[in-house]
Amino acid sequence: KQEVTQIPAALSVPEGENLVLNCSFTDSAIYNLQWFRQDPGKGLTSLLLIQSSQREQTSGRLNASLDKSSGRSTLYIAASQPGDSATYLCAVGGSNYKLTFGKGTLLTVNP
């Protein structure tokens, strides 16, 4: 059974800092890995999807990497802003379209 762990559970940083969120998974037989953002009481916003054959994806200030063999992914956020404050969820996609989520990292960026 796939298990996804996210570290840290919560992170508070001053505005402008670069930061890294970590995600690890137990079964390397994945199809893809997706990073989401969730604001309180809202739905999920897809940030980046990395196919299992890819090593990284970039979108604006976000960069996600994937090391399938070691079961790890990182989400790098450059020059953080208060508007980046949210919960960030990592989800691993299996061959049956099922996403297994980590518990998330609650990010607070202080002005």
Partner 1 sequence: DTEVTQTPKHLVMGMTNKKSLKCEQHMGHRAMYWYKQKAKKPPELMFVYSYEKLSINESVPSRFSPECPNSSLLNLHLHALQPEDSALYLCASSHYRTVTSTDTQYFGPGTRLTVL
Which residues of this chain interact with partner 1, rule CB under 8 A?
Answer: 31-32, 34, 36, 41-46, 49, 51, 89, 91, 93, 96-99, 101-104
Q: Pairing mode, if any, of strands 4-7 and 56-59?
A: unpaired
Nearer of residues 50 and 77 to partner 1, judged by Cβ: 50
Backbone phi and psi for residue 83, each to the nearest 5 degrees, phi listed first: -65, -10
Q: How far is the CB of 16 from partner 1 (least distance, A)?
A: 28
CA distances from 42 to 39, 62, 67 (A): 5, 21, 30
Q: How far is the CB of 41 from partner 1 (least distance, A)?
A: 7
Distance CA 90, CA 81 (A): 20
Q: How far is the CB of 1 from partner 1 (least distance, A)?
A: 12
Nearer of residues 14 and 43 to partner 1, judged by Cβ: 43
Task: Classify residue 82 by its DSSP letter.
Answer: G
